Amino acid sequence: GALIVISQGNLQVILQGNIGWGELFILGCVVCWSSFTVLGKIIMKDLKPIIAITYACLAGTLILILPTYQEGVLQNFMQYSIEVWLSVFALGFLGTALAFTWFYEGIDKIGPSRAGIFINFVPIFATLMAVLILHEKLSPSLVIGAIFVVSGVYLTNYQVKNIKIEKAKEINVGA
């Protein structure tokens, strides 16, 4: 689904290398998030969620320094208004620290595979917000990509549910 959205429905764009830095960073996000989710379960055995999140945020900060510098944000940081800084703080606290804490709790309760699936909804909600708030155009490739994402999440959870039902039946038959 993410590849369809990024390539606007033309996967040749990616294969030919005709995508921008932003798209490459988004693909990198997918790889990082997948790693973060799988490693999170392992790390959570030894660390409390807040400590693990602190390390993850520090790693993310280091990764984002280069694109931030390239965009000129670091050079002009004193020129931003208090509203911008409050928005950055809210995003950092609510969208990062609090969200990651809840996500790690989800990993602890339902496992990394099932919890990781739900991250696929982020681009859908970001697109919906861009359409509603910024009046962005909703292209057919975005709708098709969203359908793929929702279908994938549904099928994955449906499959897990059916496997659990089958295992329960086997246990009851054997008892």
pLDDT tens readout for residues 20-67: 777 777 777 777 777 777 777 777 778 877 788 788 888 888 888 888
Q: How far apart are alpha carbons 34 and 7 in whole angstroms?
A: 20
| Residue whose C-alpha is closest to residue 8's, from 144, 113, 109 | 144
- In angstroms, what is the C-alpha Rg of the chain? 20
Q: Per the confidence metrics, is the pTM higher than 0.75?
A: no
Q: Please tell me which residue, 85 or 10, carries the higher pLDDT value.
A: 85
Q: Residue 35's pLDDT is what?
A: 78
Give residue-wise pLDDT tens across range 60-110. 888 888 888 888 887 887 888 999 888 888 888 887 778 888 877 787 777
CB 5 within 8 A of CB 141: yes
Q: Please tell me which residue, 28 or 147, carries the higher pLDDT value.
A: 147
- For the chain, the domains span 2-174
User: Which position has the token pair 């208090």?
Assistant: 82
CB 114 within 8 A of CB 139: no
- Model confidence at 174, in pLDDT bands (50, 70, 90)? low
- Model confidence at 147, in pLDDT bands (50, 70, 90)? very high
User: Mean pLDDT, to the nearest integer, of 125-149?
Assistant: 86
Taking CA atoms, 91 is separated from 62, 87, 95, 152, in Å, by 17, 6, 5, 28
